[in-house]
Structure 1
């Protein structure tokens, strides 16, 4: 019998990689996002059942973040809809050190659908294809992170763990807490960015108030409040230590930040 896979958030950093890996293995994949047909929008639960019809195994990345207000209610309903649709396995992306995300994890793990959590540290790709990618052009990497260390993870490693959890045996009910191999400060990442891009990039630590004001001006008050509180929570040192999550799931070591940034710089140079 053919197993049908679906990826919610298929246009995002992890989702598109998960879908690509599954398709490379010859799997049938339904890529779901707001603009797909059928569409999956976390704010339109009335459409979820149609999007999940016929799906056996499912990867989900919640937007905007599992720590955001309303996420617990959304995940509760999502688990119910997935169960009614006949989904046999769910792999949920979660954020390391986020209390709200942990509550959502518990909701899904206690549901009727066998589930696995991939709890990830900060993405290394945030510096190349995310909200901090403009640091290369501005020369400034500004965050309210002080000198805290973070074991940044390669998103390709996150996707590989997710695919293993979707297709392998023995992952139901487990939490794979995944990080990179070493903890770096944002100032150290700025130095690596300078070396790999050839442009001087300086890390500027911000206050939480200044960060909130900057994000609010660009993205609005609601997004600014969510991101500020998320930074306040996770940049308190709780996530400093790396884990062996990637090695435990895949039998190999995770890739480090320098390798990710070198590859990104090489790709950008080839395109220019």
Structure 2
């Protein structure tokens, strides 16, 4: 049995909370859980949080930042709000910040010229690098959880992934690894000024990903490569706005162009061990009931 002195408990209770924006999302929710498991006070930054945090309502920012010294920033895609938020963090006494950015930010031709998410990350990184805080930037590859919690979930459940990815491969990163790096950078020293490029240990094509999920679930999931034009047309026919459908197709473009297959060493550098494999993710997601068997 481990005994904790009353002084130790009091010290924990008096610690400044860590604000996690996007605290209910794929990486943020995991950061919240890991911090709480470490006994760290957490403030969940979301519209349903206490106090509420809304990226689009700057009147909510100050209450969310009250007594906060460390922040995990998950930007609001499509808007250039990271810069003013970082400035407010400085004014409110925050001293450490971990920014979730994206792969390919400084790679010519990676994102389309009209990529809303790309503009968000480019300006956000520039703002963070210029600030006075201890900062760490995370640049993850595609989340493996996009198959179980995000973009591809409905397609996986239907049994058919129709994407304009051709035969390109991706070093999918497990959100658990992203969160673990974020928590380490938030709670330990030695990560200030670091940019961690995060990926899984190997490149996986969409067809291979579908086959791995099929094996994990015992049901067939197949990949059907289609052209960007047909992909956009299908989404519009399903009720998507034209611009949103085009943005989705553009986001898949780097896979098709072979720009997402490289392995990055950020997980190893930050945590001292290799990242999880896609097959591990698929088995865990199947066991958790993410997909019908």
TM-score by length of 1: 0.90
Per-residue deviation, 1:172: 1.3
Contact (CA 8 Å) 2:157, 2:291: kept in 1 or not? no
In structure 2, how many angstroms separate the alpha carbons of the residues matched to 1:102 and 1:21?
A: 28
Which residue number in structure 1 is paired with residue 48 of structure 2?
Answer: 35
Note if 1:20 corresponds to 2:25.
no
Which residue number in structure 2 is paired with residue 83 of structure 1?
Answer: 90
Note if 1:110 corresponds to 2:136.
no
RMSD: 2.1
Contact (CA 8 Å) 1:246, 1:253: kept in 2 or not? yes
Note if 1:96 corresponds to 2:109.
no
Which one has a bigger Cα radius of gyration?
2
Moved over 6 A (4+): 269-272
In structure 2, how many angstroms separate the alpha carbons of the residues matched to 1:79 and 1:200?
A: 46
Q: Deviations over 1:211-264 (max 9, x none)?
A: 333444444344334323322345422221111110110011100100110111
CA distance 1:106–1:191, change in 2 (3 Å):
same
In structure 1, how many angstroms separate the alpha carbons of the residues matched to 2:125 and 2:290?
A: 40
Among 259, 273, 283, the alignment partner of 1:262 is 283
Per-residue deviation, 1:157: 0.4
Q: What secondary structure is seen at the aligned counterpart in 1 of 2:28?
A: helix
Which residue number in structure 2 is paired with residue 250 of structure 1?
Answer: 271
Q: Which consecutive residues of structure 2, in runs of 5 or more, have no partner in the other structure?
A: 1-13, 107-117
Q: Which consecutive residues of structure 1, in runs of 5 or more, have no partner in the other structure?
A: none
1:130-169 equivalences under 5 Å are: 130-169=150-189
In structure 2, how many angstroms separate the alpha carbons of the residues matched to 1:107 and 1:225?
A: 28
In structure 1, how many angstroms separate the alpha carbons of the residues matched to 2:248 and 2:105?
A: 12
In structure 1, how many angstroms separate the alpha carbons of the residues matched to 2:229 and 2:66?
A: 45
Per-residue deviation, 1:124: 0.8
Q: What secondary structure is seen at the aligned counterpart in 2 of 1:137?
A: helix
Which residue number in structure 2 is paired with residue 175 of structure 1?
Answer: 195
Q: Deviations over 1:45-73 (max 9, x none)?
A: 2321222121110111113x3xx3x33xx
Note if 1:52 corresponds to 2:59.
no
In structure 2, how many angstroms separate the alpha carbons of the residues matched to 1:214 and 1:83?
A: 45
Q: What secondary structure is seen at the aligned counterpart in 1 of 2:262?
A: coil
In structure 2, how many angstroms separate the alpha carbons of the residues matched to 1:244 and 1:218?
A: 40
CA distance 1:195–1:58, change in 2 (3 Å):
same
Q: What secondary structure is seen at the aligned counterpart in 2 of 1:212?
A: helix
In structure 1, how many angstroms separate the alpha carbons of the residues matched to 2:75 and 2:162?
A: 25
Higher mean alpha-carbon deviation, 119-128 vs 46-55, is at 46-55
Among 219, 229, 233, the alignment partner of 2:250 is 229
1:57-68 equivalences under 5 Å are: 57-63=70-76, 65=77, 68=78
Aligned length: 266
Q: What secondary structure is seen at the aligned counterpart in 2 of 1:42?
A: coil
TM-score by length of 2: 0.84
Which residue number in structure 2 is paired with residue 9 of structure 1?
Answer: 22
